[in-house]
């Protein structure tokens, strides 16, 4: 089996079991302790607004989204549900002003 075949097989296995936990001894290799992915669904206008803002700031979209989320979490005494509702309302407001 070639290296390409091994990589393809590993990628396929990882996609089949996306929520698998890290095994003891596993190491996050991106230089930080982040090991989970949060998936957020945005409509086209919301994504476009976020993308433009990220481009203006010279950041990847995911970095900007994480920064916005972490900033909100750090400065908030709100419940998670209230925080999510407020972030959604702010994104809707941003999308309406950009459109």
The tens digit of pLDDT for each residue in 12-58 reads: 777 777 666 767 776 655 556 666 788 889 999 999 999 998 898 88
d(CA 8, CA 1): 11
Three-class secondary structure of residue 21 per DSSP: coil
d(CA 92, CA 2): 48
The tens digit of pLDDT for each residue in 73-91 reads: 777 566 777 778 888 888 8
């Amino acid at each position: 089996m070639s290296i390409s075949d091994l990589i393809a097989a590993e990628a396929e296995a990882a996609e089949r079991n996306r929520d698998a936990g890290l095994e003891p001894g596993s190491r996050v290799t991106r230089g930080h302790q982040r090991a989970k992915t949060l998936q957020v669904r945005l409509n086209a206008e919301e994504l476009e607004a976020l993308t433009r803002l990220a481009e203006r700031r010279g950041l990847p979209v995911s970095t900007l989204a994480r920064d916005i989320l972490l900033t909100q979490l750090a400065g908030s005494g709100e419940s998670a549900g209230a925080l999510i509702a407020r972030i959604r309302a702010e994104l809707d407001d941003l999308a309406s002003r950009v459109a």
